[in-house]
Structure 1
């Protein structure tokens, strides 16, 4: 029997025909919090369509599940990851973290970067497994190597983690955190670009380099990171009125209350 046949046979046994609906309070929370990890089918920036929207708007969740199940059985690795993600969170149907782990590992071993990232989240939050920052870090590394740039930000955060839950064999390493933020920044990850820019601008764990700080912050702000636009507005408020107003107003358009406060203060000053 081929490996593909073995996987199909195992999946057919693992995946139930019908789902168990999540409790009503969980359904009410789903629009506010998509949960831990990421689905493969994410909506492009500015667009509604994606797995979360599809689930939120579904009249018949069983029909959505049946479609995902069929595609997973046909060998669709993205659908396999998405089923694992849903069972990991329990927002749409009743959580089963053990089944989620099985499905995510199967998707990860078939090359899914999202599944590696979700396994990292499972170990980080301890959803059905012991909390392990070491395991989470390894899964995030695997995700990054397979193209999930957001995993670099997760690794940067992890190496800055000062409070470990439980008895963790983990060492905070602020320089390693910066290395991961820089790796993500160089490959275009917006949040990493903000983190690198902020550190260069303020001399955190690296020699102050204002030019480099502004460079990375401007790239992050151009990608929609509101905090980057705020940092730029505050920086230029001391030396360049025109650039200050430009970044202040851009931050306001992004939803910044800080920038709005700055504008109101500017208006009442003589």
Structure 2
């Protein structure tokens, strides 16, 4: 029997014919939903199309599941990851973290960057497994190597002291955190660009370089990172009135309460 046939046979046994719906208590369901990981079928920025909107708007979740199950059995790795992601979280049907882990590992071994990232999230949050930063870091590295740029931000966060559990056998390394943020920034990851720009501008774990800091912050702001626009507004507030007003107003358009407060203060100043 071929490897593909083995996988199909195993999947056919793992995937139930019907899902177990979550009890209809929408407010409680939303509170319990941690939003761990991400699906493969994500909507482009500014668009509604994607797995989450499809699930949120579904009249019949069983029909959506049956479609994903069919695709997974046909060898669609994205559908396999998405089923693992849904069972990991338990928002749309009752969670099964053990099944989720099986599906995500199968998708990861077939090259899915999203599945590697989701496995990292499973180990980081301890959903059905022991919390392990070491395992999470290795999964994030695998995801990044396969093109999941957001994994660089996850690794940067993981190496930062304030998010790490003291009970974990894990070495905080702020220089390593910056290295991963820089890796992501160079590849175009917007959040990483903000983190790098902020550190250069303020001289955090790196020699202060305002030119480099502003460069990365502007790239992040152009990609829609509100905090980057806020930082630029604050920076230019005492240096360049025209640039200050431009970044302040851009931050307001992004939804910044800080920038709105700055505008109100500007209006009442003599």
Per the normalisation by structure 2, the TM-score is 0.97
Q: Is the 8 A contact 1:34 1:52 kept in 2?
A: no
Q: Offset of 1:168 from its aligned partner? A: 1.3
Per-residue CA deviation, residues 221-250 of structure 1 (Å, 9 max, x unaligned), is: 000000000000000001000000000000
Aligned residues: 270
Q: For the residues of structure 2 that align with 1:190 and 1:163, how far apart are their CA atoms?
A: 20
> Structure 1 residues 70, 31: closer, same or farther in 2, change over 3 A?
farther
Q: CA deviation at 1:30?
A: 4.3
Question: Deviations for 1:131-168, whole angstroms, at most 9, x for unmatched residues?
Answer: 00000000000000000000000000000044544731
Alpha-carbon deviation of 1:35? Answer: 1.1
Please, which runs of 5 or more residues in structure 2 have no aligned partner?
A: none
Query: 2:25 is paired with a residue of what secondary structure?
Result: helix
Within 5 A, what are the aligned runs for 1:231-246?
231-246=231-246
Q: Distance in 2 between matches of 1:215 and 1:127?
A: 39
Equivalent position of 1:101 in the other structure = 101
Q: Which residue matches 1:224? A: 224
Pairing of 1:145-156 with structure 2 (within 5 A):
145-156=145-156
How do 1:1-270 residues align onto structure 2 when only pairs under 5 Å count? 1-25=1-25, 29-30=29-30, 35-162=35-162, 164-165=164-165, 167-270=167-270
Range that drifts further, 1-10 or 26-35: 26-35
Q: Go from structure 1 to structure 2 and tell me whether the alpha carbon gap of 1:26 and 1:102 turns closer, same or farther (over 3 Å shift).
A: farther
Query: In the alignment, is the contact (CA less than 8 A) between 1:105 and 1:116 conserved in 2?
Result: yes
- Structure 1: tracts of 5 or more residues without a match: none
Structure 1: how far apart are the matches of 2:31 and 2:163?
29
Secondary structure of the corresponding residue to residue 66 of structure 1: helix
Question: Which stretch of structure 1 is more off in the superposition, 21-30 or 214-223?
Answer: 21-30
CA distance in 1, matches of 2:216, 2:97: 39
Relative to structure 1, the CA distance from residue 266 to residue 177 in structure 2 (aligned partners, 3 Å threshold; closer, same or farther) is: same
The alignment's C-alpha RMSD in Å is: 1.5
